[in-house]
Copies of this chain bind each other. A is one copy, B any other.
């Protein structure tokens, strides 16, 4: 049954997120599960006068290819790369929309790695274009979120169909305050951690590259991180799950770590390289349409009343300098007595930002 909210979603993707105009050439990375959203996006492209091609990037298809291929056949064709180079806008529906989030679980890891490496030039090309990642609700995604399909669809559209102008202006207030701040301090359950963001650039995610958007994030000065933090929400990384993670930082480096579940995996993650023990990102979730954890980072990291820190790779565009092969987001709910200070200003407390009091 067609959900009429798909049409609203598509208009946001085309007009707000990607700002598509007449004669733009749009590559849509689609899959059968994203069919309704694809149709509505293409309809909107027709209205705008843009041209398009839809690629079918379903994971079951490239799983079949990877399983059957010799390693040396796993390469990027120049034809596909050229298609991306010659485009103006990329809309990626297939990465986040899935009929089975474990569809690639029986592909040998080295083949997946070869494939990811081979596709790198496409990612680099996409970064130079207008692009957006979003999803159409599926039963598989609802299942990962422990939700019914109907409830999950309501959840997705309450996160996606928002007044993005209004959200952007709120996020601007926060980012301007962060821009002029030196010390950020986060207080909460078993948490008291400080870091400097002096000279770093706060970035607003207002539903352009990610839909839903709704976070302000930066890469703090990693050597300045001191204190302890309790991440009460599960950490999902490469199919692994770590929950109840506690970290203690001294001068930017993790000196103590524990987890209620998956502590061995946590230790392995932190030991991958030097940068994996340092902070690459501090983000503040601001999308109150996202009111629960759904095991999907596209949504989780924008959840209202949460902060997240990532260990590993920092963002160059934010001025970050930490290098690592990994970037693992770790989320903390702030509902349970959490507070955020920018220098001496209490920017967030009791589930309200300063301008909401």
A265 at the interface (CB under 8 A from B): no
Q: Which of A46-54, A186-194, A339-347 forms contacts with chain B?
A: A46-54
Could you say which of A52, A68, A87 has the most chain B C-beta atoms within 10 Å of its C-beta? A68
A294 at the interface (CB under 8 A from B): no
Closest to A79 in B: B86
Nearest-Cβ distance from residue A339 to partner chain B, whole angstroms: 48
CA distance A83 to B81 in the complex (A): 10
A127 at the interface (CB under 8 A from B): no
Closest to A64 in B: B43
In the complex, the answer to whether B65 meets A52 with C-beta atoms within 8 Å is yes
Task: List residues of chain B with CB within 8 A of the CB of A50.
Answer: 73
Is chain A's interface secondary structure helix, strand, loop, or mixed overall?
helix
Which of these, B56, B73, B78, B86, contacts A30 with CB under 8 Å?
A: B56
In the complex, the answer to whether A64 meets B40 with C-beta atoms within 8 Å is yes
Nearest-Cβ distance from residue A258 to partner chain B, whole angstroms: 44
Closest to A47 in B: B68
Q: Which of A31-39, A149-157, A243-251 forms contacts with chain B?
A: A31-39
With contact pairs A51-B73, A55-B53, A55-B54 given, residues A65 and B79 touching in the complex (Cβ less than 8 Å): no
What is the total number of copies of this protein in its complex? 2
With contact pairs A56-B54, A77-B25, A83-B79 given, residues A69 and B40 touching in the complex (Cβ less than 8 Å): no
- Count of chain A residues near B, Cβ 8 A: 45
A221 at the interface (CB under 8 A from B): no
Task: List residues of chain B with CB within 8 A of the CB of A69.
Answer: 46-47, 49
Task: List residues of chain B with CB within 8 A of the CB of A22.
Answer: 73
A238 at the interface (CB under 8 A from B): no
Task: List residues of chain B with CB within 8 A of the CB of A25.
Answer: 77, 79
In the complex, the answer to whether A67 meets B46 with C-beta atoms within 8 Å is yes
A44 at the interface (CB under 8 A from B): yes
A42 at the interface (CB under 8 A from B): yes
CA distance A30 to B58 in the complex (A): 12
With contact pairs A53-B55, A82-B82 given, residues A65 and B45 touching in the complex (Cβ less than 8 Å): yes
In the complex, the answer to whether A43 meets B56 with C-beta atoms within 8 Å is no
Given contacts A46-B67, A47-B69, A54-B56, 8 further A-B contacts (CB under 8 A): A43-B67, A44-B68, A46-B69, A51-B73, A51-B77, A53-B79, A54-B57, A79-B83
- Name 14 interchain pairs, CB-CB below 8 A, sorted by A: A40-B64, A42-B68, A45-B65, A46-B65, A46-B66, A47-B68, A49-B69, A49-B70, A51-B80, A54-B58, A55-B55, A56-B56, A79-B86, A83-B83
Which residues from chain A sit less than 8 Å from chain B, CB to CB? 22, 25, 30, 32, 35, 38-40, 42-47, 49-58, 60-62, 64-70, 72-73, 75, 77-80, 82-83, 86-87
